[in-house]
A and B are shown apart, each in its own frame.
Chain A
Amino acid sequence: MTLGATLPAAVRTRFDALHGPAMAGSRLDRLAQSLGLPAVPADTTPPVTARGGSVAAVFDGTGGADADALWLPPFAAWIETVDADDGAAALAPLMAAAAAADLYVNLSTGTAHDLQLGSRLLAALAARHPLATERRDDIELALHEAVSNALVHGNLGVDGMKELSAAELERFSRDLGDRLADPRLAARRIAITVRIDRTDGSKDGGGEDGDCEDGGGPIAVVEIADDGPGFVPNAVQPGAQPGAPQPDHGASGRGLALIGTIADGLEICDGGRRVRLRFRL
């Protein structure tokens, strides 16, 4: 990982190698060649590169993404190929996006659903910046909630549990299962970029989150984008107790409020298809 200050803004991470933990060697070689990178064979553990730089992990579908070590340095990008028959052409723009970030994830919904991505991202982030236990827990929850929203409500279009009843839990359960089984929905992507900045630069600030603290410490800016239809957030009432139970709350609806209490900035962009979170580290 690089912090950007010493590199042109467009490149924050230089990848030295491509690793395909569950990919046939010939296919990995072909993808790596198309990107001009050396391939790290699947049986190399840990995958250390000669130049000590970052490694991008690529997957065809669900296989191989759940090893803990895969989410620690030198790995800085986790990308599922778009088309298992080829993938090389589609991979290049995703690798470019990864190079512009400090950490980058681009997976299908079907793959991301079972991965506990919030916890994975937290591990990757904490490996680069030490965090106190409570802050770790909070940031993991905020990441997890944002990822869950993108997958469940965004890409799969499943409504939250509105009533406090077993019947509503059953409906949620059934909808989630049905939508995940729909290949068109399961193929929708979730894209996550993480940038770690020494100071909270105002250049990509949205303004409305109103953070006016002195921007001395490092800050992580996390963007989570989905392929769903977006959403209109409920108006946030100033001074409202975030996450507090409200009379009209069903079993769902606390996620965004919890994110709001934890993150130092929460912006909803692209009509609800992208959220940008900031965390003081």
Chain B
Amino acid sequence: MDYGIEVRDQEAVVRLRGRLTFNDHAKLRTLIGEMAQNPARRQVLDLSSLEFVDSAGIGMLLIAREEMANANKQFILRAATGQVKRVLTVAQIAKIVPIED
């Protein structure tokens, strides 16, 4: 998995690319740190270029959400497609994290 962050006025958009699996633990640690550090109140994860996510990937997204809540930041998932959208639905993540189209 790779990612890029674009910080605008109120919103940081993190675009994830590729496959997000248990193997990406180090990158997620860094990413969560970067999201906590930047000044934007809204942290949006753009999933439109993410091709695959596994259960550990979902878990790491939930950890990111928890850490953002601790930092008083909003955490939003956006534009999931294909397999990623399917897994988010099956795991009922929308009950925990706001998901935007």
Contacts and interface: CB of A to CB of B under 8 A. Distances in A.
Nearest to B84: A137
B58 interface: yes
A169 B60 contact: yes
Contacts of A144: 21, 52, 54
A251 B96 CA distance: 12
Which of B59, B91, B96 neighbours the largest number of chain A CB atoms within 10 Å of its CB?
A: B59
Interface stretch (A25-33, A103-111, A240-248): A240-248
A141 B21 contact: no
Contacts of B66: 164-165
Nearest to B85: A137
A215 B83 CA distance: 27
A244 B92 contact: yes
Given A138-B86, A164-B66, A169-B32, A245 B91 contact: yes
A172 B83 CA distance: 25
B55 A145 contact: yes
Interface in A235-260: 241-245, 250-255, 258
A243 B63 contact: no
Contact of B59 (A138, A140, A170, A254): A254
Contacts of B58: 254
A261 B28 contact: no
Contacts, number: 96
A170 B29 contact: yes
Bin the interface of chain B by size: 20 to 34
B67 interface: yes
Interface bin, chain A: 35 or more
Contact of A164 (B22, B25, B63): B63
Majority SS at the chain A contact face = helix
Nearest to B54: A144
Contacts of B54: 141, 144-145, 148, 255
Nearest to A152: B22
B92 to A, nearest CB: 5
Interface in B49-78: 52, 54-56, 58-60, 62-63, 65-67
A188 interface: no
A134 interface: yes
B19 interface: yes
Contacts of A252: 55-56, 59
30 contacts: A114-B23, A137-B52, A140-B52, A141-B54, A144-B21, A144-B52, A144-B54, A145-B55, A148-B21, A148-B22, A148-B56, A161-B59, A161-B63, A164-B65, A169-B63, A172-B25, A173-B26, A173-B29, A176-B22, A176-B25, A243-B90, A243-B91, A251-B56, A251-B62, A254-B58, A254-B91, A255-B55, A258-B87, A258-B91, A261-B90
Interface of A: 113-114, 116, 119, 133-134, 137-138, 140-141, 144-145, 148, 152, 160-161, 164-166, 168-170, 172-173, 176, 241-245, 250-255, 258, 261
Given A169-B32, A258-B87, 5 more contacts: A116-B19, A133-B82, A137-B83, A169-B25, A170-B29
